[in-house]
Amino acid sequence: MSGSTVVEDPGIPLVDRRNGKYNKYVQDDSQNGSHADLSALGPPGKFDNISYRLSRRKLLIKRRRICVNIECTLALIGVIVMLVENELIFAHKITKADAVSIFLKSGISVSTLLLLMAVIGYHVIGIQLHMTDNSLEDWRLAVNFPATFLKILMELMICAIHPIPGNITTHVTDPKSEGHDVSIDAILSILMLMRFYLVGKFLVVHSRLLTNTATQSLGALNKVKINTVFIFKALMSTMPGTILIFIMLGILLSSSWAMRTCEIYYHPDPEHSTFFNCMWMIAITFLTVGYGDIYPNSYCGRFVAVSTGLMGVGTTALLVAVLAQKLEQSRAEKYVHNFVYRAQLDKERKHAASDVIKYVIQLWRMKKHSEVSDRKRIRLHGKLLQAISNMREAKNEKSSIGENAIGVIEISKSVNDVYDIVEKMEDTNKELKDQVNNMESKLSDMSTKMDALYTAMMRK
């Protein structure tokens, strides 16, 4: 039972760890089937009870999962309300001064405040989990200063960004040196999309690799942290195509909306006000094509285009790596291909050797019969050299196939075979040593008996 301890032996005093005093004797009423609930007493010692630690760890992992669910839900609600408010403004249905805009932004602020509280709760649970795993009594021992505080502060700053109620404007200058006053909601709305980093946290806490005890044990033994990077690598190994598709679609949609927002706020024109035109510009930027038919007219749009290009280069590199891995032959396929290719090279080498012998015999016959045809002799000599060259190439290619066929698995197998042979030799040497010792002991006994026999014969 998680969070509680059952006392089965009556008459055992319990220690209240909150005040250090003994409580009254608590007995187990087996007849009534009721057990004493000691969850209020806290841990029965300085985390020395392994069952308590495991149950508490399970409870903390469950709480952290619930906390991450709340974070993702609040972040999604805030982003959706922000998108609705901006789309209404883009469609000229409302303005920044209308009550609808103020109400929607107030809802974003409330969800952001709750999100910040959930983020703090997540980190508090993480510290408690670290204390439980390492049997720490003081929370300050579980905090790595200043890295932990900087991490919490950065996450709070990312989640705190949102368009606030009202209309705060600032004076900006576009690339054509034309200045005008615009609202800061464009920058705040685009930066609010950074909350999608919570998707990675959601995948981590809901992954079986985190909840599986065996994975945690193996990770601890091998000093491997089960975090977002580990989960991402695992997903890229199991289903790389699906992950890359989701990444590319997410970058395409978010960057297209960000580009449209920048252009409408800072340089409105009919060409950049449509979502499909912005999607086309982001697509050709993501693919590093850049036709130039549509281009950003604001510094904000240029920043989004550069960011999209960098993400496109990184995603393309991942795509190339995945394709190279998928197109690579498996171990069994390599063995089959190498076997067939080696047989083909053996056949080519035999044919080349037979050609060499044939051309040598023909040249010898020409010389024996004193045929003085320089043209025929030169042609045969060239064929002989070509056959020798083919034979050598087949031999070198076969040796290179043997070298390339040796991999880590083959080397490991060879090392294991050598180790087995060495063990057998050691066992054999040990047996020989025992036999030699037995022979020495028998010879010693024979020498003793011979001495005794000699002494007896001398007495007679």
Q: What is the pLDDT of residue 456?
A: 84
State which residues form the domain around 159.
49-168+182-193
Can you tell me the distance from the alpha carbon of 328 to that of 154, in angstroms, rounded to the nearest whole number? Answer: 41
pLDDT in tens, 31-90: 444 444 444 434 444 445 677 877 888 888 889 899 999 999 999 999 999 999 999 988
Do the domain assignments include residue 125? yes
Q: Which neighbouring-strand residues pair with 169?
A: 183
For the record, the structure tokens of 35 come out as 């057990």
Residues 6+ apart with CB under 8 A from 270: none
For the record, the structure tokens of 86 come out as 């901006």
Do the domain assignments include residue 146? yes
Q: What is the CATH number of the domain that holds 386?
A: 1.10.287
383 torsion bin: left (phi>0), alpha (psi -120 to 50), beta (else): alpha
Exposure string over 198-217, b if 16+ CB within 10 A, otherwise e: beebbbbbebeebeeeebbe
CB 107 within 8 A of CB 85: no
Q: What angle do CA 119, 120, 124 make, to 5 degrees?
A: 120
Do the domain assignments include residue 346? yes
Q: What is the pLDDT of residue 109?
A: 93
Q: What is the pLDDT of residue 403?
A: 58
Element (DSSP H or E) covering residue 22: strand 21-22
pLDDT in tens, 360-385: 888 888 877 776 667 788 888 888 88
Four-residue CA torsion sign, 89, 93, 98, 100: negative
Can you tell me the distance from the alpha carbon of 296 to that of 264, in angstroms, rounded to the nearest whole number? Answer: 11
Do the domain assignments include residue 363? yes
For the record, the structure tokens of 220 come out as 């601890």
Q: What is the pLDDT of residue 8?
A: 40
Write down which residue in 124, 158, 193 finishes a domain. 193
Strands 169-173 and 179-183: antiparallel
If you count them, how many residues does the chain have?
A: 460
Can you tell me the distance from the alpha carbon of 23 to that of 14, in angstroms, rounded to the nearest whole number? Answer: 6
Residue spans of alpha helices (H) in 369-407:
374-404
Domain count, the chain: 2
Can you tell me the distance from the alpha carbon of 257 to that of 186, in angstroms, rounded to the nearest whole number? Answer: 11
Do the domain assignments include residue 217? no
Do the domain assignments include residue 14? no
pLDDT in tens, 350-359: 888 898 898 8
Q: What is the pLDDT of residue 406?
A: 59
Do the domain assignments include residue 130? yes
Q: What is the pLDDT of residue 138?
A: 83
Q: Nearest Cα to 41, choosing from 1, 2, 4?
A: 4
Q: What share of the chain is helix, strand, coil (3-state, %, to 5)?
A: 70, 5, 25
Q: Nearest Cα to 206, choosing from 3, 6, 62, 368?
A: 62
Q: CA gyration radius for the chain?
A: 40
Listed as ranges, residues in the chain with pLDDT below 70 are: 1-49, 211-214, 216-217, 220, 371-373, 402-410, 460
pTM of the complete model beyond 0.75: no
For the record, the structure tokens of 108 come out as 């974003």
DSSP string, 184-231: THHHHHHHGGGGGGHHHHHHHHT-HHHH-HHHHHHHHHTT---SHHHH
Do the domain assignments include residue 176? no
